[in-house]
Structure formats: structure tokens, C-alpha cells
Structure 1
Amino acid sequence: MIGESSNPNGGNMKPYTITKIKAFAPLILDLNQLNYDSWREFFQTYCSGFGVHGHLNGTSKPKGDKDGEWTTIDSLFKMWTYGTLTYSLINMVTKPSSTVHSLWLDIEALFHNNKDAHIMQLENELQQMTMGD
């Protein structure tokens, strides 16, 4: 591909060029801000641009137990993800030996579950309201 660096084994070197994700990812995901959908779209687009979207959606799998390149890219991608989360979210989703795909699913579940609870809370508040004159 034009302009794309690669290693001698043919792997994509583009992800290795990013050391400070916050310079490229201005959105920080926070439970208190309703920015999950924006963060998700931005992050998916960003990852597609760097050729690592397969790690995110789970279609990229290691070639074996000792696929060091896959593990390195997956770990790098996890660091990117952690770099765009608040500390409280990091504490909620960090699990030893997880992949970025499982991290992504945990974040998604956290926000979707939270969204449903928030909708129920708002509906309850709406039902409790009385019209005044």
C-alpha cells in the first residue's frame, strides 16, 4: 500500500507509530457524559484507518499460541483504548489477560446497560410528574 510502512514479515507498522493516543483521539469516554456513541464512532474510524479494526471486532485472531506480533498489536490497541477512558472506567473494565475485543465488549455492555437503566429512570420521573398551572 502506498505510504504504508511494513515490517520484514509483511505486517502493518502503522499502529506502532502512535505513542500518544490523546493527540489523535480528543474524546475521553466518561460515564457521566453522554458521549459513548461519539467516542465509539470516532474510535472505530480511527482503528480502521490504522488497519487494526479486526482486533476490535474480533475477526483478527492469533495464528497460534505464540503469535507475538498479534499479541503485541492487541496490547498496543488496549493501551490506545485505556488512553481514551476516564480512570473510573479503566478500573471498571480492566481484566488480566483480556484482549482488546473483550475490553470493547465490556465497555459496550457497560454503556448499553447504563443507557437502559437511565431510560427507565427518566420514564419513571416522567410518570411521577404532575402538571401544574
Structure 2
Amino acid sequence: MANLHPAVTVTDIKNFIPITLEMENALYTPWSELFKIHCTAFQVLDHILPSPPPVAPSAAAGEAPPAPPPADPIWVKLDALVLQWIYGTISTDLLHTILKPKATAAQAWEALESIFLDNKSSRALYLQSRFSNLTLQSFLTASAYCQELKVLADQLANVDAPVSASQLVLQLINGLTGTRLDAVGMMLQQTKPLPDFYEARSRLILEETRQSQKPATDSPLHVPAAPTTPNAKFGLAIPQCIPGCFVEFKLHPWS
């Protein structure tokens, strides 16, 4: 047990990386960050981010180049383990896209990076448009709205179009215009200095919670008309008594 590599002790990768990377959910940034943290903790980061190989000595004229050193069996086993982690945390569609025989973990990692980070200029324009037009009205909760803003900001950073901390908060405020939390947005905008993203998010969620717990406005009390019973002797309609209600007596014309 003393010589057992830490990576071998991982029995369920989902306990460490609960995100499933899909083409549609655009969660490459948090997925890749969690994966790198996990690989660092279990001493296999070099399997997805390998160091540049050493320069091999050139062969003399007329001689065959030297053969590469034989693969270390332990390294091969660990690389296959990391490759399993990658395959186990992506969707079936992505798996079929990057799967190829004898691939290394680094090759699979690079393939995913190319899928999500290729063509940066076009992706930056698309993401910037989504970021600028995002509003609270498109979401059921303030938490979901803030989460989507943060995801888009992270994606913009990945395509070399980072969003500053103040831009993120200002866009959060801008997306509140005309919504149920418009008043909070005005308050945040007037705060000096501007609060950071997480403080602004906390205030939104607190106000949303307060509004959800606020009792509904009292509606006017509706009292149904009291049923009456005819009085043949006096020609009166005598209302039946309802506790707590005031009723009006009306005389019927004499028959």
C-alpha cells in the first residue's frame, strides 16, 4: 500500500467532478478547472498537460535515428486511468467525437480543448451578444440568472475576451430593468463603490426571498347576501341570521 499511486484510489470520478461536459451546456470552463484540480491533487496533471519532450540527439549522417525509450508500464496504466476519467465525465456525443484507438489522455484533452475553444473570434462575438442581452425575465430565479451571467463571463475569458469585475456587476444590474427586482438594481447602481458580483447576487436573492414570503394583498371582504324567509303575515322578507354580519331589512309592498 505504501507504493500505491494516489490516482489508483479513485473509485468514482463523479464524486470529484460532478459536471458532465456536453456540447450544448457550454460548461467547459468549470469542467476543465475541476479536472485540472483533481489531476493535481492525485499527481497526474502531467498526463493532460505534459511538459515539452526533451530534444533527442540528432543521428549522425547515414545512421538511423535512435529508438524512443520503451514506455513505462506504470505510466501507461496511469494514463489509461486518466483517459477513463475524461471519458467518464463527458456526454456520449462528445465521447464518440473524440474517441480513437490508442489515444492518450493528453490527446483526448487537446481534442476537447479544440472543440470548445477553436475559432475564438466568432465565439467571442456570439458570447458577447448573449452576455449583453441577458435579463432576469428569461429565468425563474435570480440565482439562475446570476449563474448564467457568470458562466458566460468565464467563457468569454476562455476566448481571450475577458469581462472585468465591474462589467459583470453592471450587466447584472442592467438585466434587472423592468423586472420584479428593478428596485434592487437601482440601489446597487447607486452604491459607492460598486459591490462585487457575489455581494450583488446575495442582495438579489435576499430580496427575491423576501418578496416570495410577503403575504398577498388583502382583498375586499365579500359577504354573500343573507338568505331570506317570507313572512306571510306582515309581507316582510326576514333575513336569516348570520353571525358577525350586518343585514338590511327591506319592506315588501303590501299584498
Q: Is residue 81 of structure 1 aligned with residue 73 of structure 2?
A: no
In terms of fraction of residues, the more helix-rich structure is 1
Given the alignment, which residue of 28, 46, 51 partners 1:54?
Answer: 46
Q: How much does 1:13 deviate?
A: 1.2
Tell me the secondary structure at the aligned position of residue 79 of structure 1. helix
Does the CA-based 8 Å contact 1:54-1:60 persist in structure 2? Answer: no
Preserved contact between residue 29 and residue 36 of structure 1 (Cα < 8 Å): yes
Give, in angstroms, the shift of residue 119 of structure 1: 4.0
Asked if residue 99 in structure 1 is aligned to residue 132 in structure 2, the reply is no
2:7 paired residue number:
15
Partner of 2:30: 38
Structure 2: segments with no counterpart, 5+ residues: 54-67, 130-255
- TM-score calculated relative to the size of structure 1: 0.75
**Structure 1 runs of 4+ with >6 Å offset:** none
For residue 90 of structure 1, the aligned residue among 92, 95, 102 is 95
Contact 1:30 1:85 in 2 (8 A): yes
- Shift in Å, 1:113: 2.0
Change (3 A) 1:40 1:77: same
Higher relative CO (Cα under 8 Å, sequence separation at least 6) belongs to: 1
Match for 2:82: what amino acid? F
Runs (5+) with no aligned partner, structure 1: 125-133
Provide the alpha-carbon RMSD of the alignment.
2.6
Q: Whose Rg is larger?
A: 2
Query: Once the 2 structures are TM-superposed, how far is the Cα of residue 23 of structure 1 from its aligned partner?
Result: 1.9
Amino acid at match of 2:16: F
| SS of equivalent residue, structure 2 residue 7 | helix
Deviations 1:16-69 (A, max 9, x none): 0112111221011111012111111111011100000011101297x9324110
